[in-house]
Amino acid sequence: MFIILSERLFVKSICKSRFKMKPVVIAALSKDLQVYVRTVQKLDQASLLEINKKLLKMQLEVFEILGKIS
């Protein structure tokens, strides 16, 4: 639920910007993470590392977008 809300806030903030960027990559990465989290049966170290890896990819994409906006 947090990912969906943060994605919506991100989309709203980008839409209000002067660049009108489409967050296609962010949407795809968040959907991938959401699907993975739903399929995880047990939170062990390997699954937590995979979740962390997916979150880092999203953070890098946001960082790149912010760099383009600034």
pLDDT tens string 27-58: 999 999 999 999 999 999 999 999 999 999 99
| Mean pLDDT over the full length of the chain | 82
Q: How far apart are CA 9 and CA 31, in angstroms?
A: 15
Half-sphere exposure of 54 (CA within 13 A, CB side): 19
Mean pLDDT of 5-25: 62
What does the pLDDT read at residue 69? 85
Q: Find out whether 54 and 29 touch, Cβ atoms under 8 Å.
A: yes
Mean pLDDT of 55-70: 90
Sequence-distant (6+) residues with CB within 8 A of 70 are: none
What does the pLDDT read at residue 65? 87
Domain boundaries, the chain: 2-69
The residue ranking higher by pLDDT, 39 or 12, is 39
Q: Find out whether 32 and 50 touch, Cβ atoms under 8 Å.
A: no
